[in-house]
Amino acid sequence: MFISLVLLCLCILFFLFQLKSGRPKNFPPGPSTLPLLGNLLNFSKEKPLEDFERLRKSYGNVYSLFIGPRPVVVINGLKAMKEAMVIKATDFAGRPQDMFVNDITQNKGVILADYGLRWKEHRRFALITLRNFGLGKKSMEDRINDEIQYTIKTLEQSTGGTLSPQVMFHNAASNIICQVLFGARFEYNDDLIKVIVQCFTENAKMTNGPWAMVYDSLPITHSLPLPFRNAFKNYETCQNIAMELVNEHKKTRVPGQPRDFLDCYLDKLEKRGNDGSSFSEELLTHYILDLHFAGTDTTSNTLLTGFLYLMNYPHIQERCQQEIDQVLQGNDRVSFEDRHSMPYVQAVIHEIQRIANTVPLSVFHCTTKDTELLGYSIPKGTIIIQNLTSVLREEGQWKFPHEFNPENFLDEQGKFVKPDAFMPFSAGPRMCLGEGLARMELFLFTVTLLKKFKFTWPEDTGEPDFTPVYGVTLTPKPYYMKVHLRSIA
């Protein structure tokens, strides 16, 4: 009996040892792994980004991990990032499939689509359509400025008092992309937008977090009633809303006379025939949810971070206002072109983006072929994680890498400069296609609101907490701002 038990234990140990993930030849180094779990236990729930930095210090700027049995390479620092995402861009342009985020979207999203026909066709379509609807043009600027007026009304109602800006900024960013996608905006207390923002916010916190890692590491857990099941319910809720919007558009559209992105896609479906394209009505609902999330969450969280810092660095806020007053000279309407006359404001906005680090691990990539990175061999299909924190706060790339300081973007003459290490939107063929829209929104919102209002930290709310809430995007913890009407405005 005893011998049988010993043999059984040895068999189990041997089986577990076989399950332990092994690194291929000349693969980047990394921490030892556990059977089944891989490196799941190397990361804390509260501060996983600090764990990535700890591992970088131990293993270098290119190191490896395992999500369950799947190999992952983490890229750190400007040199490695440029080699992978710019010089060898197509080698690293894939997307890993069969993971938590793919399963949530039923593998029908476009942002997460692999580097193939579907992604190429839809990205090209998005770039052309967004440009036709004003991206980078005066018409888009007008849409943003019109939405800002609703934000101003909300702030005016709180003049002399305090306001929690989370919902305000999320809804404002949402409305701008909604006007492009659906040709409509929604009131800030609209139940539909509340539901979408809440669902996306919850899913953003969970993606890239510990429960997502459990899901990816242990397939046996997929059907268990664990917290990650809420992400599937949230996405289904948003999917139903998107279907309703598509059905409404189908009733009211005039073929060949598109009012918005949705109409353009429906026109495309009507004309496609049997051309073998990847466009379909089923993909459409997933596509607009992709674009809505990408166009809302990052911009709103960057604005939230920006005003959190501006309140707590009043000398920076005041210097911005001095430059704004000098350039605008009483003009109420801000133009995106005004940025060329505002080097300090430009520096502050870019510093906000650097500190906000809104998508710290970007969106996961994977290799499309066997390749090399800094001398290491990376097999095809390896998951690639870009640790953007390591670039945005890299020693030697910034004057003040670990503090909020606009001097990071100013030269000795006070002119605006943008270092190579500034890549909050990632780089290469899969960099954020909404970068132009985000840059315009951040400038117009920041300048218009600072021109009209002064924002201060409420005295009765204690010390500010700059530690963000981790997820696929970093979100500032909820806070209040005190709103004052400026006499100059």
Q: What is the mean pLDDT of each run of 10 residues along the chain (489 residues)?
A: 39 38 87 89 82 94 93 96 94 89 83 85 87 71 92 94 92 90 84 83 79 84 88 91 90 88 89 77 88 87 97 97 94 91 98 94 92 96 94 96 97 95 86 84 97 94 88 89 84
Q: Please answer whether residues 416 and 409 qualify as being in contact, where contact means their C-beta atoms are separated by less than 8 angstroms.
A: yes
Is 285 in contact with 242 (CB distance < 8 Å)?
yes
Cα–Cα distance measured from residue 94 to residue 114, given in angstroms and rounded to the nearest whole number = 5
Strand partners, 75: 62, 386
Q: H or E element: which one contains 162?
A: strand 162-163
Closest CA relative to residue 445, chosen from 324, 293, 313: 324
Point out which residues pair with 59 in neighbouring strands.
none
Looking up tokens 């305000």 gives 168
Separation between Cα atoms, residue 90 and residue 210, nearest integer Å: 30
Closest CA to 212 of 190, 193, 227: 227
Distance CA 456, CA 450 (A): 12
Strand 70-75 with 383-386, pairing: parallel
Amino acid at 341: S
Q: How many helices and strands (H and E) does the chain possess?
A: 16, 9
Q: What is the DSSP letter of 17?
A: H
Rounded Cα–Cα distance for residues 325 and 452 (Å): 10
Which domains are assigned to the chain?
Answer: 23-485 (1.10.630.10)
Tokens standing for 382? 């390896």
DSSP 331: -
